[in-house]
């Protein structure tokens, strides 16, 4: 564990940041007073210590048996079932499902099919000397083009896109896992909940998407985030762990098709927040949301592409956990404060990699929440300026398989888990029943 630097000044600053913005009015910032205590008396350090590289890799490896887990396929449905079984085995036994249909019905005011999208229907080609490429979603990224998050990257970039070619995957076993094509219809996603002891009506949502594509094993995108959330569920569900506030662990489906699973959750559950059911029971099927934390691609921070468009095979010494909020969201100020709280937790409890905060959270399952509740995303690189500029050459490619990654890569995902667990333990006033 790195040397502690969480001084009394920063404890006060964190309390000031969170205050009423993230917590309810008058609520104290939980557990911050314990930050100065020796590690042996610190329940947060004890909880973080229950995260291990071997456990993280074991859970992530289990996801690879289902290939890329592409939505609308049997391998996706089998993976959802497996995740639910694992969560129950981890002690998070109150699993539930969200059901929805993909594709969703068009809104009443939708334009007829074939109508060009707003802003013009043709992707513009790069101008002279721009050296840019369009992303898979049509956003321009490069020296003079804004990325999908509004960022601009000055420098070289690598190609991006989505592999749909089965034969581009050289591993015959992985090809066979991914042979089935998706079919429209009903979808489901699973979640479970750590119920708070004294404030069960307040809840943090901790998410990652379990679906992928690219004819691969979807190890990084987003097996790495899915395994992280499942490992957090394991630690918080231990019988000797109590939290004052509730925590919901959600594994979204249909992220790759437009955040459909997260959008379905918001559509179905937002209006149920804070309603006691049955009345007087002390049970809250949908506690009031006080924060949403997404985890999407956690492993690969190897630096920018070189002049040849290639990225180093080795994790760079400057690798870090990127914590992002969206600066043009309705909850931007509160989300920024939450992001910096997570950064402080990383500095005090993560073992290997630091954290950096950025303002361009985009194209991930926290997006449907960002105008409703403080929302942040943890990932390997900045989504708009770096992932969108080819910093991760395995993104949606046949190379997103287990053998691509080293323990240096897996450890970056573990450090993201340490960061979230440490921050969440403080925000929910977690304690150990000794």
Whether 113 is in a domain gets the answer: no
When pLDDT is cut at 50, 70 and 90, the band that residue 154 belongs to is: low
- Would you say residue 120 has pLDDT above 50? no
**Alpha-carbon span 402 to 421, nearest angstrom:** 25
Residue 28 belongs to domain spanning: 11-107+129-432
Whether 49 is in a domain gets the answer: yes
Whether 167 is in a domain gets the answer: yes
**What residues have CB less than 8 Å from 3, skipping those under 6 apart?**
none
Task: To the nearest 10°, report the CA torsion of 250, 194, 323, 9.
Answer: 170
Whether 114 is in a domain gets the answer: no
Helix (H) and strand (E) counts for the chain? 9, 12
pTM for this structure?
Answer: 0.85
Whether 115 is in a domain gets the answer: no
Tokens matching residue 36 = 């100065």
Cβ(181)–Cβ(165) below 8 Å: no
Whether 260 is in a domain gets the answer: yes
217: alpha, beta or left, given left = phi > 0 and alpha = psi -120 to 50?
alpha
**Alpha-carbon span 189 to 304, nearest angstrom:** 34
**Alpha-carbon span 285 to 276, nearest angstrom:** 7
**Alpha-carbon span 392 to 269, nearest angstrom:** 34
Whether 3 is in a domain gets the answer: no
| Unique residue bearing structure tokens 């404890």 | 11
Cβ(319)–Cβ(338) below 8 Å: no
Split into its structural domains, the chain has a count of: 1
**Could you tell me which of 187, 215, 170 has the C-alpha nearest to residue 79?**
187
Task: To the nearest 10°, report the CA torsion of 66, 72, 78, 83.
Answer: 90
| Unique residue bearing structure tokens 């009394």 | 8
Write down the pLDDT at residue 155.
Answer: 63
Tokens matching residue 379 = 């990932």
Whether 263 is in a domain gets the answer: yes
CATH code where residue 337 lies: 3.40.630.10
Using one digit for the tens of pLDDT, what is the confidence trace for 45-95? 999 999 999 999 999 999 999 999 999 999 999 999 999 999 999 999 999
Using one digit for the tens of pLDDT, what is the confidence trace for 221-280? 999 999 999 999 999 999 999 999 999 999 999 999 999 999 999 999 999 999 999 999
Using one digit for the tens of pLDDT, what is the confidence trace for 126-144? 333 323 333 333 333 333 3
Give the residue, 13 or 407, on which the prediction is more confident. Answer: 407
Cβ(48)–Cβ(421) below 8 Å: yes
Cβ(244)–Cβ(196) below 8 Å: yes
């Amino acid at each position: 564990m790195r040397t502690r630097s969480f001084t009394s000044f920063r404890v006060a600053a964190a309390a000031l940041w969170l205050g009423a913005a993230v917590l309810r009015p008058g609520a104290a910032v939980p557990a911050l007073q314990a930050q100065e205590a020796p590690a042996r008396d610190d329940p947060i350090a004890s909880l973080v210590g229950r995260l291990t590289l071997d456990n993280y890799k074991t859970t992530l490896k289990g996801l690879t048996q289902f290939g890329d887990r592409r939505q609308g396929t049997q391998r996706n449905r089998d993976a959802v079932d497996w995740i639910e079984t694992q969560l129950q085995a981890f002690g998070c036994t109150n699993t539930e499902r969200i059901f929805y249909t993909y594709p969703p019905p068009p809104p009443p005011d939708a334009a007829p099919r074939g109508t060009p999208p707003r802003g013009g229907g043709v992707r513009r080609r790069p101008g002279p000397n721009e050296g840019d490429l369009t992303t898979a979603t049509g956003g321009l990224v490069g020296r003079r083009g804004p990325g999908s998050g509004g960022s601009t990257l000055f420098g070289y970039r690598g190609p991006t896109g989505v592999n749909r070619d089965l034969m581009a995957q050289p591993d015959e076993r992985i090809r066979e896992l991914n042979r089935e094509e998706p079919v429209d219809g009903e979808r489901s996603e699973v979640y479970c909940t750590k119920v708070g002891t004294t404030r069960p009506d307040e809840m943090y949502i901790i998410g990652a998407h379990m679906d992928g594509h690219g004819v691969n094993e979807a190890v990084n995108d987003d097996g790495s985030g899915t395994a992280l959330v499942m490992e957090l569920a394991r630690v918080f569900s231990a019988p000797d762990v109590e939290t004052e506030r509730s925590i919901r662990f959600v594994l979204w489906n249909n992220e790759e098709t437009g955040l459909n699973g997260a959008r379905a959750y918001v559509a179905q559950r937002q209006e149920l927040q804070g309603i006691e059911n049955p009345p007087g029971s002390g049970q809250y099927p949908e506690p009031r949301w006080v924060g949403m934390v997404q985890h999407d691609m956690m492993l690969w921070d190897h630096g920018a592409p070189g002049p040849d468009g290639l990225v180093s095979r080795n994790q760079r010494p400057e690798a870090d956990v990127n914590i992002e909020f969206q600066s043009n969201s309705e909850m931007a100020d509160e989300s920024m404060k939450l992001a910096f709280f997570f950064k402080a937790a990383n500095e005090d409890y993560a073992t290997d990699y630091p954290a950096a905060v950025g303002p361009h959270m985009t194209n991930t399952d926290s997006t449907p929440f960002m105008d409703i509740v403080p929302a942040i995303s943890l990932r390997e690189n900045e989504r708009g300026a770096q992932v969108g500029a080819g910093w991760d050459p395995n993104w949606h490619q046949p190379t997103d398989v287990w053998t691509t990654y080293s323990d240096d890569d897996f450890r970056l995902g573990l450090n993201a888990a340490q960061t979230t667990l440490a921050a969440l333990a403080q925000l929910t006033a977690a304690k150990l029943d000794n």
